[in-house]
């Protein structure tokens, strides 16, 4: 969870096999056999007891996680342990850049190990308890270790940017850091689909070639040229559904989880794909980059305005006298987390707007209103989503419009 905070504020077969897959798809797809009245209304199923239990316990976990992550950082600061890690890193790394790298790896190891019980419960035990996961314990451990390795490498490549700017421009670092991170985010968007995502999931060409042809034809209509369609073997560890368009420039690709292919009929699936294509066509990637950069700058500015007072009062206990010291990383993350939490409603409001516009695009390109409604019902039921959450949930946690 702590690693996610760092990246959030600083910165997804043979012909015979294809024929068999098409036969299975036809057998499972009622839309191919029965005409659907796309003007017919869709009833909203009430949330089940399991859904509401998952919703309420999730809210408690969200609040507890925020407190827990801050508590870990406070302990590192208040005990002076962060300063001791800096001293040891300086002896090992010697030069400034390598000192940052050693410190970051140490920080990542400690916070990951301390956070393991929470991560194990929330990502593995809880998901199995609610029937949302097929993941084996071995797969969970493997993914956890891979995530640690990726975060260590990415953090080492990125962390020097804000700390160099903190040294060079103590008064304007918050502005320059926000701007300097844009190229890193763009490079991440190029690299992630090709190098990082395949570390965790098996990407294959679409098995159902007829469905692939329909998706590519709609992509051409939408203006997404030279796209590739991939099917991901997600059923090995999840029962939830998803599809997305990812990447930029030459790395753009259309990705479907195998769970959504099995669960939805083709009109429903085409609406979902229309929605995801809408994000790409409507420029939401670029608008999102601009908006997230603005929010990052606001958080960085808040940290800049408040860090001095904290260091002046507790700097001797912390073991550093300036925010440009790498030992200040826990303090910087505490302040960024606090200000990010304050502006989270604005971030969620923006993403809800883009999701709504993508829904509109999906409806316009497919003209399948009823199938869109039944697709939402399946997404709701399979992920145990409360269709009518409370106001606080909507403000601080809802990145999509409530399904109701």
**Closest residue by Cα to residue 363 from 42, 27, 47:** 42
Residue 329, class by beta-carbon neighbours within 10 Å (0-12 exposed, 13-18 middle, 19+ buried)? Answer: buried
Q: Could you give the C-alpha distances from 335 to 8, 306, 342, in angstroms and in order?
A: 13, 8, 11
Kindly write down the DSSP assignment for every residue of 52-119, as one continuous string: HHHHHHHHHHHHHHHHHHHHHHHHHHHTTHHHHHHHHHHHHH-SHHHHHHHHHHHHHHHHHHHHHHHH
Altogether, the residues listed in the chain come to a count of 404
| DSSP structural state of residue 45 | P
Cβ-proximal residues to 301 (8 Å cutoff; 6+ apart), any chain: 174, 175
Active site (catalytic) residues: 276
**Closest residue by Cα to residue 329 from 363, 303, 293:** 303
Q: Which helix (H) or strand (E) holds 168?
A: helix 160-168
Residue with tokens 């600083």: 10
Q: Could you give the C-alpha distances from 332 to 70, 244, 318, 354, 369, in angstroms and in order?
A: 11, 33, 12, 30, 47
What does DSSP say about strands 253-257 and 229-232: parallel, antiparallel, or unpaired? parallel
User: Positive or negative CA dihedral for 44, 50, 51, 52?
Assistant: positive
Q: Which helix (H) or strand (E) holds 156?
A: helix 137-158
Distance (Å, rounded) from C-alpha 212 to C-alpha 243?
13
Residue with tokens 């939402």: 376
Contact 266, 214 (CB under 8 A): yes
SS3 254: strand
Residue 375 phi/psi, 5-degree rounding, is -65, -45
């Amino acid at each position: 969870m702590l690693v996610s905070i760092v990246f959030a504020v600083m910165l997804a077969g043979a012909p015979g096999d294809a024929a068999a897959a098409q036969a299975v798809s036809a057998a499972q797809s009622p839309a191919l056999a029965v005409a659907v009245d796309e003007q017919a209304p869709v009833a909203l199923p009430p949330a089940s007891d399991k859904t509401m239990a998952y919703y309420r316990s999730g809210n408690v976990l969200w609040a507890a996680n925020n407190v827990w992550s801050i508590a870990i950082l406070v302990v590192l600061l208040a005990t002076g342990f962060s300063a001791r890690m800096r001293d040891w890193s300086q002896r090992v790394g010697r030069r400034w850049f390598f000192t940052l790298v050693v410190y970051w790896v140490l920080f990542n190891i400690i916070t990951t190990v301390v956070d393991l019980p929470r991560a194990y419960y929330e990502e593995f035990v809880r998901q199995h308890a609610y029937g949302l996961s097929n993941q084996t314990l071995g797969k969970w451990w493997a993914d956890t270790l891979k995530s640690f390795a990726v975060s260590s490498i990415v953090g080492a490549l990125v962390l020097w940017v804000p700390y160099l700017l903190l040294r060079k421009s103590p008064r304007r670092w918050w502005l320059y850091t926000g701007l300097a991170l844009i190229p890193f985010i763009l490079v991440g968007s190029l690299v992630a689909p090709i190098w990082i995502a395949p570390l965790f999931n098996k990407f294959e060409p679409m098995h159902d070639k007829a469905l692939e042809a329909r998706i590519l034809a709609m992509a051409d209509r939408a203006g997404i040229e030279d796209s590739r369609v991939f099917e991901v073997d997600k059923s090995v560890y999840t029962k939830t559904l998803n599809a997305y368009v990812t990447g930029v420039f030459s790395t753009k690709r259309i990705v479907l989880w195998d769970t959504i292919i099995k669960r939805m009929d083709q009109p429903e699936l085409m609406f979902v794909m229309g929605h995801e294509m809408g994000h790409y066509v409507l420029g939401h990637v670029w608008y999102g980059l601009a908006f997230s950069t603005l929010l990052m700058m606001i958080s960085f500015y808040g940290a800049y305005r408040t860090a001095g007072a904290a260091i002046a009062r507790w700097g001797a206990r912390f073991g550093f006298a300036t925010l440009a010291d790498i030992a200040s990383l826990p303090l910087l993350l505490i302040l960024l987390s606090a200000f990010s939490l304050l502006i989270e409603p604005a971030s969620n409001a923006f993403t809800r707007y883009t999701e709504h516009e993508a829904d509109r695009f999906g409806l316009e390109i497919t003209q399948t209103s009823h199938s869109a409604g039944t697709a939402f019902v399946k997404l709701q039921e399979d992920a145990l989503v409360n269709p009518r959450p409370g106001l606080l949930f909507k403000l601080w946690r809802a990145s999509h419009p409530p399904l109701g």
